[in-house]
Structures are given as C-alpha cells and as structure tokens.
Structure 1
C-alpha cells in the first residue's frame, strides 16, 4: 500500500501532510487516531500508506458525514466493513470514545488544532469575516453562538475574551464598539461584527485583516478550544502503546504553548522548581516515558505556504512513547 498519497478533496488541504506522515510513521497492523477528522486529509493518507485501522473523531456532524462517504474506499479484507471507524464527539473525550469502540491503546494520534477549511469556507457556519453569514462559529450544533456572546456579555468580559484568546491589544476598544453597536441593533451577521471591528482597528503592516484576532478570540471561547486541547493532551499520551507517536499541528501561540508544555512534561523536560519552592526538597528526576521527536516546532516549507496561505502559521510538534505511561490522570496543564 505504500506509494503516493491519494488525491484529497480539493475543498480541504491537509496542512504539513508530508511532515505529519514522516513523524507519525504509520505501519501495517497499526491502530491510529485522527482526532480532528475534518476533511479526512490525514486519515486518507494514513489508510493509503499501510494496512492499518484508523479511528476518526470529530464533533462536527458534517465531518462525520464526509467520513461516512470516504469509508468504503478503505475496505477491511480481514474483518469486513471499513478500516476507517468514525466517532462523533470532541477530542477532549477521546479516551471514552475509543473505549466505547473497544480500543484502549493505539500506535499513533494526529491532531490538527483549530478550525477546518470546510468550516471557514461555509458562510453559513459563521466563522469567516470575509463572507457574510449568521454569526454562529460553533464547531458542533449545540450551545451558545458567537451572536449570543457578543450580544449578551458585559463589555469587560468581551474585552477579556478578545484579549486573551484573540491576542488583540485593542480589545477594550473593540469591546466598547461592540456594546455601542448592539445598543442600536443586535449583531447577528459576520459582516456586521467585522465592520464594527474594522471601524476601531486599523490595518497594520502584517496585511492581516483587522477583524482576524477578534474572530479568533470569539471562536476559541464559543468552542472552549483551549479547554478541549488541555484535556486531549492529558489523555493522548496514556493511549499510546510503546513506540506510539503523538503528532500535533497548531496554528497560533496559545495552542502551541499548551502542546509544548504537555510534551515537555511527558519527556521530563520541564524546568526544575526554584530552590525556594518546597517541592525542590523532594523532587527527584524520574525516567521519562516519552522522548521528543521535535526539539523545536517544525514549520511548513515555502512551497506549501505559497500553495496554501493558511499553512503559514502552522507549527508541528511530535513525541514518541518509549515505555508504558505513568503520567497521572489528573495532572494539570501549566
């Protein structure tokens, strides 16, 4: 089955596909998880590369429907059915979702964090400030929408969301403008919100649309993205069999920081406590259960960023399990 990757859906361009495949290193007989199935780009390549089983997880019902259409392309010669198994749910529930399918250990997990191309390109999903659509931004079809957030939260809470999750330094100015605008009429469309943000945030030399950071902050809040990432990074290492690998592609510093910290802890690379910290009196170096495969994050090449500008901010980190994991189940993220 080894050979060129099969053509992917032109509506979805998997970011850093060659690098993901290199670090995941799928093999015959392996069991793998694509925890952010999306358009199935990684899943398709993994299943085509070797005779393996793959579980695709996504909380977006549309992604699961796309996967169902893809499943017949990868029949399971031994057990019948397909080698692609689809699980509807958030990757923060990965361990429970897999256990429900009788899977407790796997040989590799790949995560592509953030919003998918499908979600951005579908105006009715409300993720994009470039197309007019309902101000939704939900990755699934439950819970409060972005419109609920911008029309109901106090100005101070809006400012905190936009500052902490969107990394917008003018967050208080943006929040003030949103509150003033909604006093005239509810903000229900992406174009309305984008215009409000652009009225108080001017373009800078980066060329990034002034609405980018505000939309990012609201999207992360609506979908609890950082909480979801924290929880999956606690579970994923404990699911890996010895030799198993975790490969994560992130797209902004908030995500990458969580990934870096989680992998560093697993590999025993976190800084020692200060000598003034009581923990330093009892801390002892324990053998690490994992080794880092990427000392620094891997970035996409120039050719890829030319073909797919959305890849320009991507960072890939990977680690490998070298022993049965002993990471405590409740270890908090730093």
Structure 2
C-alpha cells in the first residue's frame, strides 16, 4: 500500500491570509518602532538592534510611507548605527528580491554571511553573527506570538481538503504556527487523523523550540566549516537542532517503512532544507511528487528548478515529479 506524505511550508499560512512572510515580520517591527525613529532631536536606542542620535525631520514620515524600503534608503547617515548588521542585510535583501518573502532566503543569507566571515583574513566575528541571528529569531518569535498573528490564525477559514489523508499517512509541517490544527475536525477522532510532525519546532514547545538556521550540509562550504573543530561554526545548522527532539527520527521511520507519494504545499524547496528534502524525496520509497503552486505555471517551474537540486540523478526528477496541470494551481 502506497501511503501519503504531505509537506507544508509557509505558503500554507500565506494562503490563509496569515501574515508570516519575512516582509510582514519586518513591517511589524517598523510599525512598533516608527514613533521612536521619527522623534526629532532625540536619541533612540533599541538594544542590540539600532541606535539613532539627533535624527532630523527627514526621518519623520507618514505611517503609510514607513516601510522596510525607507529604512534602507533613508536611514543611512552618521547618526544611525545598526548594532545588528544581519538585520540590516535582511532589509537590503527585501528590496532586491522579487520573491514572496520566503524565510529560506534569510537562512541562505545567514549561510553566505557565515562563509564570508569564516573566509576573511583575519576571520570575521562568528559569535557576533550568531548572536545577531538569535536576536532576529527572538524578534520573530515575538511577532508570531503577537495578537496580530494569533487573531489572523483564529479568524482564517479552511481552504484545503485534506480528507484523503488518514491514520497511516503523515503530515510534515515546516511552519512554526499551529494553522494545521484548524483541519483536525476533518477526522472524526485523533486515532483517524494522520500523524502531524512539526519538524521545525513550535512556539509552544519549550523542549523543541523553533528551528531557524541552515540545512545544506552537502554544500562544499560546510566541509570547510566542519573541519575547523570549532562548534560555533555549526551552531545554526539544522542537523544538530533536529537531534534535540524525536520528530526527525519519527520521520525517518515513516520513510523507511513505507512506499509513499509526496504532495508539496506552500514550500519554495530552497537549499536551506536541502538535506532533509533529499532524505525525503531522493529515495526508492518515494514514488510520486505532486507540486502545488501559486499563482501560475511560472511558480511551478521555479519550484521544479529548486527541487532538481535535491536529487543526485536528473532522470529521477523527470520520473518522480508529476507534470503541470490545472490541478497544480492553488485556487
């Protein structure tokens, strides 16, 4: 019997109009700080993030114009000191990217910064980079626990039919939110419900907090870091964070014990989860891969490009990934 495996990414939340892209997160932070940042003839200090002294009137903008692009374009003078250089780079990336704000881009940015610091002569401050990522992570947790996000989850309506999934199937959720719980009434009781694994942790589990880092240990740069015998370089790699709980082991058991079809919903399938996606998709037990895309064929092709990087043999990509059809598009 071929079982079913559903992979849920951040696009699942976005499809429910829950503001969980990193652009939403940055705008939330700016909305919290805009009054302070707009004060004239004053000093503003957000611990470990940014310090502004004697700001001029040019910083004071109407609320509807205060956004992440303004931060990069205007807050650039001797009066501004970014204490969290990594957050500043996130702001800059927002303006360059044409994507929908997938968090995988931030994780990939961290990895490139890590390699850049490591290869510098003399070496950059790895501890500071890791501390800055932890501060961004802390802000993200604060945002996802905010009334804004919680109310959006509470008021959101179900958009998908998961009734085809049963007790022998598996749902792997890469999100930190509990949106999937809205669908629990699809099944008559807990025993008939598919197992749900929050592979990247959750906001409510102190024993398995959210996993936010990088997961491409296949990349040649990782071998350089690993060979240094410096654990600080490996702190934010997902492999070691998965080992802090049992969810990855449960996933491995399912993969080894069954033949299965995969449906991918709301994932960009980028390199930040390369090893995990390779583990799931590039094995004989995985029979068929069905990609759900939004808003059109171009997104489907983009995801195919990303998925191809998780396979060793190009022919496997062609044989496993189901071709595009009208049913591939999330309505």
Instruction: Give the structure-1-normalised TM-score.
Output: 0.28
Structure 1 or 2: more helix by fraction: 2
Highest relative contact order (Cα 8 Å, sep 6+), 1 or 2?
A: 2
Instruction: Give the structure-2-normalised TM-score.
Output: 0.28
